[in-house]
Structure 1
Amino acid sequence: MTAAFTLPASITPERHLEVVALGGGHGLAASLTALRHISDAVTAVVTVADDGGSSGRLREDFSVLPPGDLRMALTALCDDSDWGHMWSAVLQHRFDGDGDLGGHALGNLLIVSLWQLIDDPVAGLDLVGRLLQARGRVLPMSAVPLELMAQVRGVDPADPEDRSTVVGQVEIARTTGVVESIAVLPHDPPARPEAVEAVRGADAVILGPGSWFTSVLTHLLVPELRQALVETDAHRILTLNLEMSTDETQGFSAVEHIERLRSTAPELHVETVLADPSVVDDREGLERACASIGAELALYEVAQPGRPGQHDALRLGAAYRDILELPRRSRGSRER
């Protein structure tokens, strides 16, 4: 079914729509920026497996959750005012040079400082949110920092079928092999109860976009959070990336992204898979893959014009709004 899609100049938020977005990094920031246009009650549930850059250094030095993805989520939810924009820029400011502060984002230092003063990661993040006048809440997905392990095929070009274990988010993201599966240490990490409660009580849950293995699928490796995602009454939307073949997903199609999710959590069903038409090379095959996880396919142009790898916040927000307003049992595969 094909229907006209008109991009609104603005979107009026639904104040009583409880939306939870799961992910990490730039992908989660894109969905949060879009969701601010449709809801004043957005909760971000953020991966805590980063081991590189400023986050990795602070994680190692102070035995804390890596703050970088949490910081990015907070700035994505900042109030659309001079105050919010200024504090967003302050949190994102990164120090230059080779000294002890070189490479650190000021927001990471602020978050870790609050954690040392308060000794409660969620309370510290809530305080930063109040400072930013954030239109939503940011929660870590786990109570402890996680270490990622991936089974990777073909790291050695001389033996393309050889499989090896690659450890750490940074190493997985830049592997030259093909990532086949992901795991975490500890194997059964505790979820933050606030994150579990948010998922169970949501009207809508958004999974993706983002680095498929290290930002999206990691949420399915926290048992309590995974169970909440399976059992929630929320409308679950899986958002596919605008670029299929990345360092983590070399040569992957849209269908293979869904297959990896299904193999990671076969009991998880979603209601809608949202994809930009530009990533669909086999629509019938993609619709079958969507059906295998209980979903219907919704095609929307959500990229920025002239910047095919970047989401347009208004387009993505309008797509989410449209999907969530469709009757639950009569959507069908639609193209906008």
Structure 2
Amino acid sequence: MTLYKNKKVVAIGGGHGLGRMLAALKIFGSNATGIVTTTDNGGSTGRIRDCQGGIAWGDTRNCINQLITEPSISSMMFEYRFKGSGELDGHNLGNLMLTALDNLSVRPLEAINLIRTMLKVDVNIVPMSEHPSDLKALSVDGLWVTGETSVDEMEQDLKRLDLTPAVPATREGVSAIEQADAIILGPGSFLTSIMPPLLLPEIGQAIENNTSAKLIFVENLSPEYGPAGRMSLEQKLSWCERACQGRRIDVVLGGKPHQAPLTDAWNCVTRDLASPNRDWRHDRLKLRQAIEEQLALMPLS
């Protein structure tokens, strides 16, 4: 199809949401790029960071898992999670493989590309930064907390979100945004998946500069909890636009219709996006068709 050859798509986020989006876009092959959050500090990823340092690999591994199309011994190893007692319990072998390859490579992106080649994944996977950083949040009460897990557990509403330390964005990610025909935010955990890449000034600036791209926000199908769950959709859209230097979101894609005043401020498009057997999860085909619909409305480049 001409669309897949002529349009470049960038999706930004982390965890299961970005993996689902990239799985929907894998028909675009190398014309699709995922820019992945690298600030996770929980679970296997957090334990590896505590003892080895480096960026968080869990979200990247999750994305790659959802893009594997040919089951193999390599893919079974990459998806394997240790069980039992002892230090290996709960560790995902894919996280350990990426950590080992990172230690053997000049750049973390090289480690990702080695895994992509091994698992025959065509979609580009780019970490938001190749330097370790953590999420930091300021509550309305003036309390700072550090770490994704702590942010998710905050009982107060958030006033501000930052990265500590400040790190540069991966240049390949910035370049992909500059060349994109569509830039997709979400679905996924708003504060801990969608926002961290947008906190990098180079990424926000690149989105602001690419005025010819269509900026699409994809809503979750199930409610969030914690501080993100207490934010309205209007607040989330405003936070994204502020991080993108004021760049307006062109389309808000969701599964349920909205009312004014939200529809007066944003172009809200409602489509059936839910999986038939799990209505909290996006159906890959429906999601792809909804994105294709938005791309088809644009002139071929």
TM-score of the two chains, using structure 2 as the length reference: 0.91
Q: Secondary structure at the match of 2:22?
A: helix
- Select which of 110, 115, 119 maps to 1:132: 119
- Gap regions ≥5 residues in structure 2: none
Distance of 1:87 and 1:254 partners within structure 2: 41
Distance 1:244 1:12, change over 3 A: farther
Distance of 1:208 and 1:103 partners within structure 2: 27
Give the drift of 1:169.
0.3
Give the drift of 1:101.
1.3
Distance 1:326 1:249, change over 3 A: same
The answer to whether the 8 Å contact 1:48/1:145 transfers is yes
Distance of 2:111 and 2:5 partners within structure 1: 25
Distance of 1:327 and 1:116 partners within structure 2: 43
Fraction of identical pairs, as percent: 32
Distance of 2:30 and 2:109 partners within structure 1: 19
Give the drift of 1:241.
1.4
Distance of 1:132 and 1:89 partners within structure 2: 10
Distance of 1:213 and 1:201 partners within structure 2: 26
The answer to whether the 8 Å contact 2:208/2:245 transfers is no
Distance of 2:89 and 2:119 partners within structure 1: 24
Q: Secondary structure at the match of 1:311?
A: coil
Q: Secondary structure at the match of 1:26?
A: helix
- Select which of 3, 14, 25 maps to 2:4: 14
The answer to whether the 8 Å contact 1:275/1:297 transfers is yes
Q: Secondary structure at the match of 2:281?
A: strand
Larger fraction in strand: 1
What are the Cα deviations for residues 20-49 of structure 1, in whole angstroms up to 9, with x where unaligned? 111010111111111124555221111111
The answer to whether the 8 Å contact 2:22/2:123 transfers is no
Q: Secondary structure at the match of 1:237?
A: strand
The answer to whether the 8 Å contact 1:23/1:216 transfers is yes
What's the counterpart of residue 285 of structure 2? 314
What's the counterpart of residue 117 of structure 1? 104
The AA in structure 1 aligned to 2:172 is E
Matched, 1:200 2:159: no
Distance 1:302 1:87, change over 3 A: farther
The answer to whether the 8 Å contact 1:178/1:248 transfers is yes
Bigger drift between 87-96 and 99-108 goes to 87-96
- Select which of 65, 70, 86 maps to 1:81: 70
The answer to whether the 8 Å contact 1:92/1:107 transfers is yes
What are the Cα deviations for residues 63-105 of structure 1, in whole angstroms up to 9, with x where unaligned? 2111111111122222x2334xx54443221101231211110
1:1-336 matches, within 5 Å, as 14-78=4-68, 80-83=69-72, 87-153=74-140, 162-187=141-166, 189-232=167-210, 233-277=212-256, 280=257, 282-290=258-266, 296-327=267-298
Give the drift of 1:208.
0.9
- Gap regions ≥5 residues in structure 1: 1-10, 154-161, 291-295, 329-336
Give the drift of 1:201.
1.2
Runs of 4+ aligned structure 1 residues displaced above 6 Å come to none
Distance of 1:191 and 1:37 partners within structure 2: 26
Q: Secondary structure at the match of 2:269?
A: strand
Count of residue pairs the alignment pairs up? 298
Distance of 1:89 and 1:239 partners within structure 2: 31
The AA in structure 1 aligned to 2:253 is L
Root-mean-square deviation over aligned CA pairs: 2.1
Q: Secondary structure at the match of 1:209?
A: coil
Distance 1:13 1:132, change over 3 A: farther
Bigger drift between 221-230 and 258-267 goes to 258-267
